[in-house]
Amino acid sequence: MRSCSSVLKAEALFSSFGDNRNYARNVFLDPAGRRFFADWDRSAQSSVASLRATMHQHPSPQERAALIEELRTDDEFDRLWEQYDVAPKTAEVKTLRHERVGDITVSFHAFAVMSAPGRQLIVYQPEPGSVSESRLLTLRIGALHPGPTGVGAASD
């Protein structure tokens, strides 16, 4: 059985976004979010529920309040926020629409980072031997050896 054991930096996978440091901002405030997440409604709902579940762990109440205020400028975030769903990210399957390589279906698992309260490590794993695995490997090769257009030689 083959496995996509090589590490792909988040920057390559989330290159559609202007700033990929905050998942909720990507989902709601970045114009790429609605294109990137194939099931945007599900991504939006789980993003808000996870934020509610982990917000008490944020090291700065002021930064947390500023983030929520910023996100509430989006009508859909505000609607979901008012529903008060609370559910931490654990594991799920999702499809991502990457602008260079196409749809990538991955399962993900979320892990708490004990040394950084409020932070999570999210591990994405494609089905071994799948088209999605091939596309992730293409992104990895492109990130390591960018060609003139920023895409590696292995891209389609």
* Per-residue CA distances from 85 to 28, 80, 82, 101 (Å): 17, 8, 8, 34
Reported as a pLDDT band with limits 50, 70 and 90, residue 146 is low
Q: Select from 122, 119, 102 the least CA-distant residue to 110.
A: 122
Phi (first) and psi of residue 85, to 5 degrees: -75, 135
Q: Which amino acid does the sequence have at 100?
A: R
Higher pLDDT, 155 or 77: 77
Query: What are 43's two structure tokens?
Result: 């991504």
The model carries a pTM of 0.81
- Which pLDDT band, with edges at 50, 70 and 90, does 66 fall under? very high
pLDDT tens figures, 74-128: 999 999 999 999 998 899 999 999 999 999 999 999 998 888 877 788 899 999 9
Query: 29-39 pLDDT, tens per residue?
Result: 999 999 999 99
Range with the largest mean pLDDT of 3-12, 55-64, 67-76: 67-76
Name the H helices within 1-156: 10-13, 23-28, 33-36, 40-54, 61-71, 75-83, 131-144
d(CA 98, CA 104): 7
For the chain, give percent helix, strand, coil, nearest 5. Answer: 40, 15, 40
For residue 4, the model assigns a pLDDT of 46
More confidently predicted of 155 and 29: 29
Q: Best-predicted range by mean pLDDT among 13-22, 63-72, 106-115, 140-149?
A: 63-72
Confidence at residue 7, expressed as pLDDT on a 0 to 100 scale? 62
- Sheet architecture: strand order including 102-112: 91-98, 102-112, 120-125
Q: Are 130 and 139 in contact (CB under 8 A)?
A: no
Cβ(108)–Cβ(91) under 8 Å?
A: yes
Fill in the DSSP letter of residue 126.
Answer: P
What's the whole-number average pLDDT of the chain? 86
